[in-house]
Homo-oligomer: A and B are copies of this chain.
Amino acid sequence: MADHNALPLVVLAEKFASLPGIGMKSAQRLAYHVMSMEDAAVEDFAKALLDAKRNVRCCKCCQNLTEREICPICSDDERDKGIICVVESPKDVTAFERTREYCGVYHVLHGLLSPMDGVTPDKLRFKELLARISEGGVREVIMATNPTVEGDATAMYAAGLLKPLGIKVTRLAFGLPVGGILEYADEVTLYKALENRNDM
């Protein structure tokens, strides 16, 4: 924004622009939008930002974001504590919960292994995962990280860590997405779909 613009507006636009996926033009539009909002709505927005940051923490058990000490999933007696689905981030928990089919629990690593970027195993929540497993009762760990180099490496690392403890470690199935069209599938997906074919 040029210097004829009010400074607080420029500052606000810069804050919006610092968020992922919001460019400077959108950020300016959002800043102008805030000006047209009711005073109370802006105050609610500011409060929501602070509330989320202050009151949301990691669940002591699964490391998912929650406002309680133990999240609703971990404290739900109907969930099977014997199966742990290990994911990269809280977003992935939301994705699995949307299926309404999974009734085990989760473990959020808060990242994927990427030694090039300095993300070594000690930066992720593996220690907490091992602590949960050492308490006993865990039959299976499902590695549900993305099918990327980092996701695969993280799954491999976890398998190496957990298998010697006698835990069954599985990986999500990779293949054609449901509703997808074979013609448009990439080679690797198609190869995986062929390799992992099932009896009918």
Interface residues in chain A, defined as those with a beta carbon under 8 Å from any beta carbon in chain B: 1-9, 11-12, 14-15, 18-21, 26, 28-35, 37, 39, 41-53, 55-56, 64-68, 71-73, 89-91, 93-94, 97-98
17 contacts between A and B (CB under 8 A): A2-B98, A4-B71, A8-B52, A8-B56, A9-B52, A9-B56, A11-B52, A12-B52, A19-B30, A19-B33, A20-B33, A31-B52, A32-B65, A34-B53, A35-B90, A46-B46, A46-B47
Docked-complex contact B15 and A67, CB < 8 angstroms = no
- Of the candidates A9, A93, A94, the one having the most CB atoms from chain B within 10 angstroms of its own CB is A9
Q: Which residues on B sit within 8 Å (CB–CB) of A30?
A: 19-21
Q: Which residues on B sit within 8 Å (CB–CB) of A20?
A: 29-30, 33
18 more A-B residue pairs beyond the given contacts A15-B48, A43-B53, with a C-beta to C-beta distance below 8 A: A2-B97, A3-B72, A4-B71, A8-B51, A9-B65, A15-B44, A15-B45, A15-B49, A18-B41, A19-B33, A28-B91, A29-B91, A32-B89, A34-B49, A34-B52, A35-B65, A42-B53, A43-B50
Q: Which residues on B sit within 8 Å (CB–CB) of A68?
A: 6
Bound CA–CA A49/B11 (angstroms): 9
Docked-complex contact A56 and B6, CB < 8 angstroms = yes
Closest to A21 in B: B26
Q: Which residues on B sit within 8 Å (CB–CB) of A91?
A: 28-29, 32
Q: Which residues on B sit within 8 Å (CB–CB) of A97?
A: 2, 4
- Of the candidates A32, A55, A73, the one having the most CB atoms from chain B within 10 angstroms of its own CB is A32
Q: Which residues on B sit within 8 Å (CB–CB) of A53?
A: 34-35, 37, 39, 42-43
From B5, B8, B48, B89, give the contact of A48 (CB < 8 A): B8
Docked-complex contact B32 and A72, CB < 8 angstroms = no
